[in-house]
Amino acid sequence: MRVLLIGGEPFDYTIAFANAVASRMPVTLIVPRDRFAAALPFFDPQVTVRLIDWPRHRSLANLAFLWQLTRLIRAEAPDLIHVLSNTHLWLNLAVPLWRPVPVITTVHDVSLHPGDRDTAVLPGWAPRLMARLSRHVVVHGPTLARAAQRVFDIPGDRIHILPHPAIRRYADLAVATQPDQTDRSDAFDVLLFGRIFAYKGLDQLIRAEHLLGDRIPGLRITIAGRGDDPHALRALMGDPGRYVIHNRFIPDAEVAALFRATDLVVLPYTEASQSGVLPVAATFGVPAVVTDVGELRATVLPHHLGLVVPPNDPAALAEAIARLAQDPALRGRHGDAARAWAAGAIGADRVGTLAENLYADVHQKAKRAGSKGWA
């Protein structure tokens, strides 16, 4: 079976998922040239990467782009197309041109997150239409599957669950470029990483730090990622000297260094679907404290990745951070479980196998329905 992936964002997910599929079968991936040209070394040799000039959403050059993309797809003659995000506005016009080849679209966020300025640039109808046109939708957990059925008005048998694959490249980079850290400082490092928008609960973490007082000697909180400015919440901080703030895009080498140096990752989200941070942290064996939103509880508790607290409860968040800070053995058990999860349940081989099975099922259903490839 010839499978064609179309990607772009999320960047790390696109790489990790393509590599997972490639662990089971050769695959072709079409991605934006300006975003992925420098990322070619990260791909498995079984991934054939096709770079294409991908205009911005508001450019009329998208009409020519869609024609070029469709010609490229027809030349590849795939049995199945998998679009790795439903946030590409103009692809709504192209999907009907690809029929009768079955199309699957991955939906990472069924609904817009509060304060998410990146996704808010799209009109609300665009992600919903993309999901409906492709007919088959992939989400990352059962809670999202139920939400997708409701929001997109798609039958349950057309909504499929594939776990977010482990993102290994930062851990591999850390091993390749950084010496083994056997002599750690006495600091206890807590990391909030990613796009720092309102729903990420930055204010909840800062309130929790204030409540902790002096309970954790050497507490250091690193906030790394572009988005809202953490300095705007300085008045809420118990001790501003505890904070290391990188309010910008974080380069790969720095991401690797941050996760390697941290003792604990926190996801104090007030609203969420799932997380791309956990599949990174797990490859480093870093435990997590997360809030009970979206798929986070269902991800963390069964796999023993860390502790779960209610959202919007800085006191509970503070207690969870203190518990893990004061119990190295507990941190170690959760860290070991995280590594096992990254290697097994969300490892490339398992995610690739699940994707292969899904593709075979969708392809067979399309054949039975009368699809005959490119007509």
Q: Does 334 lie in the same domain as 360? A: no
In a domain, 338, yes or no: yes
In a domain, 136, yes or no: yes
Residue 11's contacts (CB-CB under 8 Å, 6 or more residues apart) are 35, 36, 39
Q: What is the pLDDT of residues 104-128, one digit of tens each?
A: 999 988 766 555 555 545 667 777 8
On the 0-12 / 13-18 / 19+ scale of CB atoms within 10 A, 52 is middle
Q: Does 237 lie in the same domain as 122? A: no
The single residue listed with the structure tokens 């993102």 is: 167
| Domain with 336 in it | 179-343
> Cα-flanking dihedrals φ and ψ of residue 73, to 5°?
-65, -45
Q: What is the pLDDT of residues 156-172, one digit of tens each?
A: 899 999 999 999 999 99
In a domain, 374, yes or no: no
Between CA 232 and CA 236 the distance in angstroms is: 9
Q: Does 14 lie in the same domain as 32? A: yes
In a domain, 260, yes or no: yes
Q: What is the pLDDT of residues 283-340, one digit of tens each?
A: 999 999 999 998 999 999 999 999 999 999 999 999 999 999 999 999 999 999 999 9
Between CA 297 and CA 303 the distance in angstroms is: 10
Q: How far apart are the first and last CA of the chain?
A: 18
Between CA 151 and CA 164 the distance in angstroms is: 21
In a domain, 296, yes or no: yes
In a domain, 115, yes or no: yes
Q: Strands 80-83, 306-309: parallel, antiparallel or unpaired by DSSP?
A: unpaired
0.85 surpassed by pTM:
yes
Q: Per the structure, how many domains does the chain have?
A: 2
Q: Decide if 42 contacts 140 (C-beta within 8 A).
A: no
Mean pLDDT of the chain: 90
Q: Does 245 lie in the same domain as 148? A: no
Kindly report the CA angle at 34 between 112 and 48, in degrees rounded to 5?
Answer: 95
How distant is the alpha carbon of residue 183 from its chain centre?
Answer: 32
Q: Does 362 lie in the same domain as 224? A: no
Q: What is the pLDDT of residues 226-263, one digit of tens each?
A: 988 999 999 999 999 999 999 999 999 999 999 999 99
In a domain, 337, yes or no: yes
In a domain, 172, yes or no: no
Q: Does 147 lie in the same domain as 194? A: no
